[in-house]
Amino acid sequence: MLHIQNLSLNFGDQTLFERLNLSLHKKEWVSLLGSSGVGKSTLLRLIAGIDVQGSAQGQINVEPNVRIAWLPQKDTLYPWLSIVDNVQLHAVLFGQKSAKTTEQAKLLLDKVGMFSHRHKACSQLSGGQRQRVALARTLMQNADLILLDEPFSALDAISRHQLQNLAYELLQEKTVLLVTHDPQEALRLSQRILVLRSLQPNQPATLSELLIPTGKAPREFDHANLWELQQQLLQVLSAKGER
């Protein structure tokens, strides 16, 4: 579905990352780990076709007719719109809102457990509730490739766990690339785990596939091997050379 070949990004004389190669396949959930500032979110923006500062070289090839949706860390709900209109934002912005799109938005709000809150103002919602609305808006786009940029990181532990489970349930038929700082989140949800990191101080980051968890996701941490894998991930992320 997505193929990245020899992708590098330069900011003036500084290279953020170089020679990245990545392939994503249909109905695959892949997590991307790395320290702050290493370029994870920037890579998602490049895949999504969002303009970034700097000069990129290499190729990002997406199969024809593949639609991409991006769910960022901040929910970016528009406070002057109703919750239903936030879900059907694309239709609202492009003058395509109709009874059909409104009904579809309500159905998606029901799927994410927010139908009973649809009459509230956005300011009345908790962080977890806002992310549920943002998830419904992402589903409304009916995309094939979903880019998740740390969408659960600002939530409390219980809300994060619930939203991880819900997102996995609703996105099972999609291809997902999840950027996260949390090794446990990556291990719970992913079929593959990638790491973007600098192997030497002040050197460009490179991408490597670290491990492939076994068992069906979302996984619970009631087995020793998952705790062991988490420790391995933490050791890799904290190794000398990481930014």
Over the stretch 68-81, which tens digit does the pLDDT of each residue have? 999 988 888 999 99
Q: What is the mean pLDDT of residues 159-188?
A: 94
User: What are the respective helix, strand and coil percentages of the chain, to the nearest 5?
Assistant: 35, 25, 40
**Taking the CA atoms of the chain, what radius of gyration do you get in angstroms?**
19
By percentage, how much of the chain surpasses pLDDT 90?
A: 73
Q: Between these two residues, 175 and 75, which has the higher pLDDT value? A: 175
CATH of domain 2-72+145-239: 3.40.50.300
Q: What are the start-end ranges of the E strands in the chain?
A: 2-11, 14-24, 29-33, 55-62, 68-71, 145-149, 175-179, 192-197, 206-211
pLDDT over threshold 50, residue 243: no
pTM above threshold 0.85: yes
Q: Do strands 14-24 and 29-33 pair parallel, antiparallel, or not at all (unpaired)?
A: unpaired
Task: Tell me: pLDDT of 12 over 90.
Answer: no
Phi-psi region of 52 (alpha: psi -120 to 50; beta: other; left: phi over 0): beta
Residue scoring higher pLDDT (223 or 102):
102
Report pLDDT for 51.
Answer: 80
First-to-last alpha carbon distance for the chain, in angstroms, is: 31
What's the whole-number mean pLDDT along residues 209-217?
84
137: exposed, middle or buried (Cβ count in 10 Å: 0-12, 13-18, 19+): buried
Beta pairing partners, 148: 71, 178
Helix (H, G, I), strand (E, B) or coil at 243: coil
Write down the pLDDT at residue 35: 86
Mean pLDDT of 46-58: 89
Of the listed ranges 103-107, 131-135, 217-221, the least confidently predicted one is: 217-221
Q: In the predicted model, what is the mean pLDDT of residues 1-9?
A: 95
CA distances (Å), origin 2, targets 68, 110, 175: 11, 31, 10
Asked if pLDDT for residue 116 goes beyond 60, the answer is yes
Closest CA to 144 of 165, 173, 180, 107: 173
Residue 226 carries which side chain, given as an amino acid letter?
L
Classify each residue of 21-37 as buried b or exposed e, where b means 16 or more C-beta atoms within 10 Å of its C-beta: ebebeeebbbbbbbbee
